[in-house]
Structure 1
């Protein structure tokens, strides 16, 4: 276990301080993704059943007022379904930007070494190059994983809203 933690520490030192920020961002993003997935897969089902049960218990399902009640139920559950998805999407967009920040800070270090040593000594520039490439990679990996997860969450939320709209049907007088 200690070797694993030491490997992580070495990796973050190689990638620079920006890598820690990217790691924290990805951690928070995945906590939100897991929370949304749990809500959609577990908790939403009981709320959906309750809304359908309340709708079917209504005696009036044909009036204008009934339509407004129906729309409120669907909108309320839809808002709960979408919950933190916009925040997740913002964090996904932030990942590559922080990776780019890591690239810039790493390249500044490379240029500092070149200015001090007066030449392109590969050994002295290696630290800056790793600080330039590792955060970029981490930002892109975080963004890609988040894109797939947020797309899935969006699809599931839209699908669940459609199912709810189909289940709570307004009865028309013909």
Structure 2
């Protein structure tokens, strides 16, 4: 329990050091990773069930060579592709927002530095230190969130494409 209290205090101190923008970036990164994890769990569980169901329906069809059968196959592949893509566009938008919010944190932190300089003059390095940290920490957090999100979003896009192609190939193999 003591560890949890220390952890919460450390997080609170970090957020105070980075300012309100850091809290917004943290919430954004949390939501982004929830959506990424949802996609991963869908690929591991939901997609496999859907793929199995479609393959069973395709194999149960007597006619797999006609124009109508080809249209049905294309419609199923399109539906699977849409489900695989799920929240990828939203995830990519959140990834793009991370560095922008980091930049906003930089601007707000520098405004604080300039306010301190206007009040105390340029000789007080201690009074400017909190503004400088509020300028740099959100930038770092935004970039870390963006980098991790880019890597995850790229993996998700590749996995979605690979799974769609595997289903297309499987349905074409069973085209006979």
Fold match (TM-score > 0.5): yes
Query: Which residue is equivalent to 2:95?
Result: 92
CA distance in 1 between partners of 2:125 and 2:48 (Å) = 59
Query: Which residue is equivalent to 1:126?
Result: 129
Residue deviations 1:41-93 (CA, integer Å, cap 9, x gap): 12111110110110111111111111110001000011001100111011001
Superposed, 1:103-118 pairs within 5 Å as: 103-118=106-121
3-state DSSP class of the match of 1:168?
helix
Name structure 1 gaps, 5 residues minimum: none
CA distance in 2 between partners of 1:83 and 1:171 (Å) = 28
The answer to whether the aligner puts 1:83 opposite 2:86 as a matched pair is yes
Report deviation, 1:171.
3.8
Query: Which residue is equivalent to 2:151?
Result: 148
CA distance in 2 between partners of 1:171 and 1:26 (Å) = 44
Report deviation, 1:120.
3.7
Q: TM-score, normalised by structure 2?
A: 0.95
CA distance in 1 between partners of 2:121 and 2:9 (Å) = 34
Report deviation, 1:152.
0.5
Residue deviations 1:6-44 (CA, integer Å, cap 9, x gap): 110000000000000000000000000000000011211
Question: CA RMSD for the aligned pairs?
Answer: 1.0
Query: Which residue is equivalent to 1:34?
Result: 37
Superposed, 1:22-61 pairs within 5 Å as: 22-61=25-64
Superposed, 1:155-174 pairs within 5 Å as: 155-169=158-172, 171=175
Q: Would you identify which runs of 4 or more consecutive aligned residues in structure 1 move more than 2 Å?
A: none
The count of corresponding residues between Structure 1 and Structure 2 is 172
The answer to whether the aligner puts 1:16 opposite 2:10 as a matched pair is no
Name structure 2 gaps, 5 residues minimum: none
